[in-house]
Amino acid sequence: MSPTPMSQDLAARVRRWRHDLHQIPETGLQEHRTGDYLATELEAMGVEVTRGIGGTGLVATLRRDEAGTTGRPAIALCADMDGLPLAERGDRPYRSRHDGVMHACGHDGHMAMVLGAGHVLAAEGGFTGAVHLVFQPAEEHGLGAEAMIADGLFDRFPVEAIFGLHNMPGHPAGRISTRAGALMAGEDNFEILVTGRGGHAARPQMVIDPIVVAAQIVLALQTAVSRNLDPADPAVVSCTEITTDGARNAIPGEVVIRGDTRSFTPGVRAVLEQRIREISAGISAAHGASCAVTYTHEFEPTVNEPAATVLALTAAALTVPDDQVDPDTAPWTASEDFGAFLREVPGCFALLGTGEAGAAGGTPLHSPDYDFNDDVLETGVAYFVNLVRTALPTGGPTGTPVRPEPPAPQGPR
């Protein structure tokens, strides 16, 4: 059965949703107006909405049953809700109305695409079972998924699998990319407090200089990857901040080093933590200083389950031409809160290209100049609809696959 294009009316509605949401960004666990907006639109579709899950999260449920069906298979489609504490640049008519907060990671587009899929599925069906539309708060801080899980998300809304989609500047517009196994890295944070003995900058022989100790620690930490891990195991150790309690003419008594690590497996994560602790303690002791290391797990790795990935790739092939499907994309060392969901249930996370660098949609994520490329909204809606109809087929003829209208060519900007 050939895919059929979405209506112009729905395409316009999805863009309106995206622009409306873009104007009311809220940071993690503060997404009250965003939740109000989503609930209003979903209830207008006749969809059952449950709010207050994990704080400001919500779940909308669609059900379609066939006579004689035993049980009710269910899947979830996920979109993140929060914005970033950045001041938006640009004069677009739908720019943020909340000073100092903007949707710089495309979560407005993610929500609009899931809303669009919900609209199509509520109106047309074409599936058997239950679809839970999960709108997750506080993705940027890695808090929202855990909060929803702790609030009984998968006990109250059990699913066989969960699926998500993130926009990806730098990839060709409309390309859908994913892979079985590790797609995105886990993130851990560390803080190393080095304590020496401060004093006058002109009398270094009287002190234990924690800056010298910290400098050696920063350099030595790079060996945690280069000399302790198999080169085939990707990992990153980044020291991102150094602060002291000193002054221009005073050697400090304390230095704090902060940073993060990225890795894909529990074994690599454990090696990185162990080596950060050992290197810091050893170098500090060699100089007569002391240190204390705090190491925290912030984001789980995003690891796609193989069978769910097959479903996602099947839906992608129904949505875009074959040369726009990347079934084995390279892992990415950024982190995504969706990984916490995949720790609990099978599923697949995918990337939707929004435009190559220098073209429309190519502005990097987390930039004050970023704006979601509206030309790929229909692709995301179609992908989610085709995914539901692939994962939850009807007993008779399946629902008609949908496809987006191809976007108009975009030149450099």
The residue ranges of every structural domain in the chain are 4-184+301-403, 186-299
Is 366 annotated as ligand-binding? yes
- Burial class of residue 146 in the structure, from the number of CB atoms within 10 Å of its CB (0-12 exposed, 13-18 middle, 19+ buried): middle
Note the pLDDT of residue 401: 77
Has 107 been labeled as part of a binding site? Answer: yes
Q: Is 166 annotated as a binding residue?
A: yes
Contact predicate 252/215, CB 8 Å: no
Q: Are strands 48-53 and 57-64 parallel, antiparallel or unpaired?
A: antiparallel
Predicted local confidence at residue 397, as pLDDT: 39
pLDDT in tens, 258-308: 999 999 999 999 999 999 999 999 999 999 999 999 999 999 999 999 999
| Of 14 and 397, more confident | 14
- pLDDT of 395 higher than 60: yes
Answer yes or no: are the C-beta atoms of 272 and 263 closer than 8 Å. Answer: yes
pLDDT at 404: 81
Instruction: Write the DSSP string, 308-342.
Output: HHHHHHHHHHHHS-GGGEETTPPPBSS--THHHHH
Give the contacts of 141 (CB within 8 A, at least 6 positions apart): 28, 82
Residue 413 has pLDDT above 50, yes or no: no
% of the chain beyond a pLDDT of 90: 91
CATH 3.30.70.360 describes domain 186-299: yes
Binding site annotation covers 239? Answer: no
Specify the pairing of strand 176-177 against strand 325-326: parallel
CA distances from 270 to 45, 139, 275, 335 (A): 47, 24, 9, 17
**Residue 105, marked binder:** yes
Q: Which string of DSSP letters, residue by residue, matches 176-190?
A: EE--SEEEE-EEEEE
396: pLDDT strictly greater than 90: no
Higher-pLDDT residue of 409 and 195 is 195
- Right CATH number for 4-184+301-403 from 3.30.499.10, 3.40.50.300, 3.40.630.10, 2.40.50.100? 3.40.630.10
Which residues are CB-contacts of 390 (< 8 A; sequence separation ≥ 6)?
Answer: 311, 314, 315, 318
Asked whether residue 248 carries a pLDDT value surpassing 70, the answer given is yes
Looking at residue 398, what is its pLDDT?
Answer: 43
pLDDT for position 406: 60
Q: Which amino acid is at 124?
A: E
As given in the structure block, the two tokens for residue 159 are 């699913």
Residue 65 has pLDDT above 90, yes or no: no
